[in-house]
Amino acid sequence: MGGEPKDSVELYANINRSLLGENRTPEAFAQAGEKAAERGFNIIKCAPFDDIDSENTTKGLLEAAKIGIARVAAVRSAVGPNVEVLVDCHRCFDQDSSLVVAGELANLGIGWFEEPMCWQPAKVGHFC
């Protein structure tokens, strides 16, 4: 992919889905992040927006994103500034809402904002 080859890649903890089950509260995300940090992970990835309906309007997406942003804020608070927090959006947003959510998450000092929206038009009858 370019650049110098690396001898190793640092692993990250993934706190989501099967780890959290139905309890997707900001507190549950914080506890999972805290456990991962206690186990020595310096990088934690989460998918805090998985319950957002991507068929929503920009206004609806931004309203629905509030809980996901609160989840990331809870993880950040629990793990502190020395643990990198990564966010995977699984294409939950449109272009306008992606920009707003990216700004909110940047204020929390996240490491990456992965896949906020489709990168190409969806084919008829298919989601991106």
Return the closest-CA partner of residue 98 out of 54, 128, 67, 36.
54
Domain 13-114 coded CATH 3.30.499.10:
no
pLDDT tens sequence across 92-108: 999 999 999 999 999 99
Return the closest-CA partner of residue 54 out of 94, 111, 99.
94
Instruction: Work out the average pLDDT over 14-29.
Output: 89
Report pLDDT for 19.
Answer: 82
C-alpha 66/C-alpha 60 separation (Å) is 10
C-alpha 14/C-alpha 90 separation (Å) is 14
Residue 97 makes CB contacts below 8 A (sequence gap 6+) with 58, 61, 62, 65
Task: Give me the residues paired with residue 86 across strands.
Answer: 45, 112
- Domain spans of the chain, in order of start: 13-114
Report pLDDT for 128.
Answer: 47
